[in-house]
């Protein structure tokens, strides 16, 4: 049992997001699936002097195993810039159990399929256990619809977060970061895009109530314009999940050169493309040149 009385202030994800809170910018949480993504985030962060969060799905814990998680954490923590490692959308209790044995800096507990009271009880129990490992917890309130890798696709209408219930949820659970549902969805937007789908007044109301102590996390960011990202940051969003936004050009580079380049050249070229996509977003989010 760690008896760190400074928790959660000593936690790396917390330090990164609290710095962003004090200086009114956001940090990208980049979903990585392999070593190329990890190298690209670290390279971009060091070149831009930008904090970053490397984000993995539970799929990675199973497909690549615990040793890969340890490698990612070691590589992130060895960087010359603060880079935290976060587990995104941890839905199954068994996955939470496994994740708490690994050196993640933070975990998103996705119990949004439960009703509100059960979500509160479940999140509080995980926060209580995570403290021992100096791991912080992000929770989802309401439901963020849509399919993402390994996430169920639900047909029911989106359930948005009620600002009033946020005020009770945060102290009852003790969660450190909050992912609100305000019309944001995973896996792409219908006609009119995120501009049409997002209820920014709701996001601002939630941010006004809790964001000074509980930084907000933004899910469902594909595609979103630079201007809309900046409006979300003005509402108190500090962690912005980025997946295909920074990965599509990398995938295109691999696909179009796979037959013509040696694997060493293919990887070098594609990782550089990936890093440049990430660097561009660091400028958009305002996280460049912060350290």
Q: Which residues bind Zn ion (CB under 5 A)?
A: 219
Beta bridge partners of 138: 108, 177
From the list 88, 95, 117, 283, the catalytic residue is 88
Cis peptide before 130, with omega less than 30 degrees from 0?
A: no
Could you tell me the smallest distance in angstroms from the CB atom of residue 197 to Zn ion? Answer: 15
Q: What is the Cα gyration radius of the chain?
A: 18
- Is 219 annotated among the ligand-binding residues? yes
* Interatomic CA distance for residues 170 and 206, integer angstroms: 11
Judged by DSSP in three states, 169 sits in helix
d(C-alpha 99, C-alpha 255), whole Å: 33
3-state class of 71 per DSSP?
A: helix
Tokens describing residue 188: 């792409």
110 known member of a binding site: yes
* In the complex, minimum distance from the CB of residue 219 to Zn ion, in angstroms, rounded to a whole number: 3
88 flagged as catalytic: yes
Alpha-carbon distance values, 53 to 9, 113, 171 (Å):
17, 26, 25
208 is in an annotated binding site: no
CB of 263 to Zn ion, least distance (A): 32
Q: Which residue is nearest to Zn ion, using beta carbons?
A: 219
User: In 3-state terms, what secondary structure has residue 159?
Assistant: strand
The CB-of-256 to Zn ion minimum distance in angstroms stands at: 29
Nearer to Zn ion, 7 or 229 (CB): 229
In this complex, which beta carbon is closest to Zn ion, that of residue 218 or of residue 271?
Answer: 218
Q: Is 186 annotated as a binding residue?
A: yes
Name which of 91 and 98 has its Cβ closer to Zn ion: 91
Query: Is 86 marked within a binding site?
Result: no
Give Cα 85 to chain centroid, integer Å: 9
Closer of 25 and 57 to Zn ion (Cβ): 57
Residues making up the annotated binding site for Zn(2+) are: 89, 110, 140, 186, 219
Residues making up the annotated binding site are: 89, 110, 140, 186, 219
Q: Would you please indicate which residues are annotated as catalytic (active-site) residues?
A: 88
């Amino acid at each position: 049992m760690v008896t760190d009385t400074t928790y959660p202030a000593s936690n790396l994800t917390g330090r990164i997001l609290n710095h962003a809170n004090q200086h009114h910018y956001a940090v990208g949480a980049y979903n990585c699936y392999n070593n190329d993504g990890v190298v690209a985030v670290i390279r971009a962060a060091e070149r831009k002097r930008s904090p970053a969060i490397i984000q993995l799905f539970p799929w990675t814990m199973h497909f690549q195993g615990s040793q890969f998680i340890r490698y990612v954490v070691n590589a992130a923590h060895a960087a010359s810039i603060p880079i935290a490692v976060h587990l995104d959308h941890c839905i199954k209790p068994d996955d939470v159990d496994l994740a708490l044995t690994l050196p993640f800096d933070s975990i998103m507990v996705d119990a949004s399929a439960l009703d509100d009271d059960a979500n509160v009880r479940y999140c509080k129990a995980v926060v209580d256990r995570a403290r021992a490992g100096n791991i912080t917890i992000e929770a989802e309130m309401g439901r963020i619809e849509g399919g993402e890798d390994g996430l169920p696709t639900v047909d029911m209408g989106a359930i948005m977060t009620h600002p009033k219930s946020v005020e009770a949820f945060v102290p009852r659970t003790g969660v450190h970061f909050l992912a609100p549902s305000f019309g944001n969805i995973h896996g792409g937007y219908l006609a009119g895009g995120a501009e049409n789908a997002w209820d920014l007044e709701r996001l601002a109301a939630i941010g006004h109530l809790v964001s000074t102590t509980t930084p907000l996390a933004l899910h469902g960011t594909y595609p979103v314009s630079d201007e809309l990202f900046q409006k979300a940051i003005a509402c108190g969003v500090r962690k912005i999940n980025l997946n295909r936004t920074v990965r599509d050009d990398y995938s295109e580079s691999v696909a179009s050169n796979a037959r013509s380049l040696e694997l060493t050249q293919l990887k070098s070229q594609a990782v550089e493309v990936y890093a440049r996509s990430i660097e561009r977003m660091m400028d958009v989010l305002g996280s460049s040149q912060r350290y």
